[in-house]
Structure 1
Amino acid sequence: MTSPDQANSAENPWPVRTISFKIADWIHRLGAIWVEGQLTQINVRRGTRTAFLTLRDPAADMSLSVTCDPMLLQRSEVPLAEGARVVVYGRPNFYTGRGTLSLRITDIRPVGIGELLARIERVKALLAAEGLFDPRRKRPLPFLPHTVGLISSRASAAQRDVVAVATARWEAVRFDLRDAPVQGPTAVPAIIEQLKVLDADPRVDVIVIARGGGSVEDLLPFSDETLLRAVADCRTPVVSAIGHEPDNPLLDLVADVRAATPTDAAKRVVPDVTAELRGIAELRRRSAGALRNWVHREERVVESLRSRPVLANPLRMIDDRQDRVDGAVRDVRRSVQHLLTVEEHRTARLAAQLATLGPAQTLARGYAVVQRTDVDALHAVRSIDDLPEGARIRIRVADGSAAAVVAPNHQDATKENAQ
């Protein structure tokens, strides 16, 4: 027979008992430990010396079998029931005969209210440090949600309140009702599952998590870290409607909106159609009044403009300035006429001076102008030397002119006459 201490292989496999003993040996080395959890099952059989319990992790879907002496449960100062939070002390035990693991405990202590509140405060501080309570993360609620997702226990008062109040406020509201336990060890995973389903539905515009009031132990699921992180990761706005006004689970801080009661949640999520219609009617009345006032005001402005002289008689401005234009035209004409008269007098004076100095006046006094006509350029004779014998000349007097020819010896005769 092959020894178990030899190397394990396909040719040298270990028997079941060997692996069972090895697992038991490793588990037993863990020693006695303290474990916290939530009791989900208590089975005490009469006439037996062993009680069987199931201890579940509140934040994960994991559980562990626990065994103990029934007297241990009876000696507990606080009666133990399913859903109670406890701390147990025991040693892990692997039963090689059945290949099962259980925790054999020798002490069990219920977790008190003070300890629960202290743990809630620790979770609150942790999530606050991560910014999960930051108001800037809060998403606004839609004005008219297409569908409202509601997570609550089946046929609960909270469910009825939300549906009844919302329907009374708006008859067309639609609900996607999701039933889930709201206390006990199965509450957190069930709520998270329904939360993911509603968040993935594009028709759901807002999610309401509702439950009636209860003790601190009853409301523990709504301060569970796993549930709080799931709510923070939702893309859809979440409304917390847990308990009554004094109840403040941590879900109120993580949710986008905190409602004091389920009824308050319905009022926050669904608008009151009657109030909205009244508001619309009031806005229409105010807008109509504002429009009428604006029209009247503009009419008064138009009337004021029309009553002004410039618009009442548009030609008046032209008429008022016509006199000025006419006066200006008269002044211009008077100035031009005066200028013309002055210039006419000046011209007449100059003409008289020119006539006095001109050759016609000289001729009128008995003088004559002699001009040669047998040369290319007609010019007046200025000297006797310009009158050779036979030169043709024109003699111009006051009343006309006559042609002549210079006779011989005229120069001598002229000189003599001059002497």
Structure 2
Amino acid sequence: MPAADPAPRRRPTTAGETTAENPWPVRLLAAKMDAYIAKMPWTWVEGQVVQVSDRPGSSVVFVTLRDADTDMSLPVTIARRVMGRLRDALPDGLSHGTRVVVHARPEFFAKRGSLSLAADDVRPVGVGELLARLEHLKRVLRSEGLFDAACKRDLPFLPHTVGLVCGRASAAERDVVENARQRWPSVRFEVREVAVQGPNAVPEVVDALAELDAMVEVEVIVIARGGGSVEDLLPFSNETLVRAVAKARTPVVSAIGHEVDAPLLDLVADVRASTPTDAARRVVPDVTEELAQLDGLRHRTRRAIAARVEREQHTLTALRSRPVLASPHVLVDQRAAEVAAQRDRARRALENRLERAHVDVEHLRTSVSALSPRSTLLRGYAVVQRPDGELVRTPEDAPEGTRLRIRLPDGEVGATAG
């Protein structure tokens, strides 16, 4: 008997139940996505128009809407009757770069696997509303401290290389480069030409800023653009660009528009220049002014040194004119006279002391001579002693036959007691 057909496999009902052995076919995935997206509600979406396709005889207008901050876009289909309501607000219709708000619902085309928006209302974003949004963003960024003066960095005095972000073949580039080289001819530039208005401006400026910031030789970056309307300058108030400048390692100079223009980039940049020409003056010094300052400083230094030498010369002259320096031997003569006087006093004191000592010695000699036994002997007396040296004072001290010594003033004689 022929083998029975295997039972058909059950398709997974959810994506989490799929496996390599039991996957979803593409048609089922597309159907699931279509069903899911169809449940999404109508929503208001804001973006910039980057492409408009208005084919004659078509009931719809095809528009590509791009996010203002990132390189992301979606196609939008707008009924022609809806476009007719825009004539009062936009007499020329939608154009590249126009910022709009659309009321749309996502649509998924399963056969092509593409997503688009179907809009039933389109409203241009007015200048007043844009300014109100910018004011709100300014308050948010200021509260985060991005505009604080403490975050500002000083520009280098003489940068070797200047990074420049500007429009393609723009007057702003010529103003910055030519004026900077007139002031300092040896300055080098790393120029990045980008879109400075429209939907591509923000990503291109941010990419150029990141590229220049990564270059070690670039010491300062100038972001320059000529004047324009509020809408034209909107990219330089974009939150993504402002935060990128705040995070940059290299000091940034903002030179956007004219003096009256004030995009948020001016507030976050380290230095704000009123015009691109002013930016050139701020990033490099003027060689003529610097040489003039050097000459002035050299003259001031020379005058200061000459004045100092003259003051010191006057001081030396005054010191030399003093009596002690005019006749320096006076001090020596005074000290010599003092030494001589002290020596004379010492000599006289010593002589007086010796004379008094001599008188004392003579007095003592006279006293000793007067008290000496010899003086007594000279008067006729004699001293009788026995051989053992004992004095003979009585006859009993010298029995008969005792040998005696008789001391006289000028000598002695021997005798025998009888």
Q: TM-score under structure 2 normalisation?
A: 0.92
Separation in 1 of the partners of 2:305 and 2:374? 97
Tell me the CA shift for residue 400 of structure 1: 3.5
Q: Return the letter of the residue paired with 1:402.
A: V
Count of aligned pairs: 404
Give the counterpart of 1:326 among 340, 350, 358: 340
User: Offset of 1:95 from its aligned partner?
Assistant: 1.4
SS of the residue aligned with 1:87?
strand
Deviations 1:141-189 (A, max 9, x none): 0000010111000111111111111111111111111100110000000
- Give 1:84-95 correspondences, 5 Å limit: 84-95=98-109
Within-5 A mapping of 1:358-397: 358-372=372-386, 374-375=387-388, 378-397=389-408
Residue of structure 1 in register with 2:417 after alignment: 406
Residue 193 of structure 1 corresponds to: 207
Tell me, what secondary structure is at the counterpart of 1:284?
A: helix
Greater Rg, structure 1 or structure 2?
Answer: 1
| Equivalent-residue separation in structure 2 for 1:392 and 1:327 (angstroms) | 69
Give 1:32 deviation, angstroms.
0.8
Matches within 5 A, 1:119-198: 119-198=133-212
Tell me which of 227, 243, 259 is aligned to 1:245.
259
> 1:270-319 CA distances to partner (integer Å, 9 max, x unpaired)?
10000000101111111122122222222333333333343444432121
For the residue of structure 2 that corresponds to 1:380, the secondary structure is coil
Contact preservation (8 Å) 1:42, 1:82: yes
Aligned with 1:404: secondary structure? Answer: strand
Kept after mapping to 1: 8 A contact 2:12/2:24: no
Secondary structure of the residue aligned to 2:406 is strand
Q: 1:402 to 1:83 in 2, by over 3 A?
A: same
Is 168-177 or 305-314 further displaced after alignment? 305-314
The more displaced of 107-116 and 327-336 is 327-336
Identity of counterpart residues, as a percentage? 53
In 2, the alpha carbon distance for the partners of 1:324 and 1:183 equals: 100
Determine if contact 1:4/1:18 at 8 Å carries over to the other structure: no
Matches within 5 A, 1:221-236: 221-236=235-250
Query: Residue 333 and residue 208 in structure 1: after superposition, are their counterparts in 2 closer, same or farther (change >3 A)?
Result: same
Contact 1:152 1:209 survives alignment (8 Å): yes
- Amino acid aligned to 1:126: V
Q: Which residue in the other structure is 1:44 paired with?
A: 54
Match of 1:61 among 71, 79, 83: 71
CA contact (8 A) 1:211 1:262 kept: yes
Gaps (5+ residues) in structure 2?
1-7
CA contact (8 A) 2:66 2:74 kept: yes
Higher mean C-alpha deviation, range 123-132 or range 269-278: 123-132
The offset of 1:3, in angstroms, is 6.3
Query: Which residue is 1:118 aligned to?
Result: 132
CA RMSD of aligned residues (A): 1.8
Question: Following the alignment from structure 1 to structure 2, what is the Cα–Cα distance between the partners of residues 346 and 11?
Answer: 147
- Contact 1:44/1:70 (8 A) holds in 2: no
- Which deviates more, 141-150 or 322-331? 322-331
State the secondary structure of the residue aligned to 2:46. strand
Give TM-score, length-normalised by structure 1: 0.92
> What is the deviation of 1:352?
1.5
Letter in 2 for 1:30: M
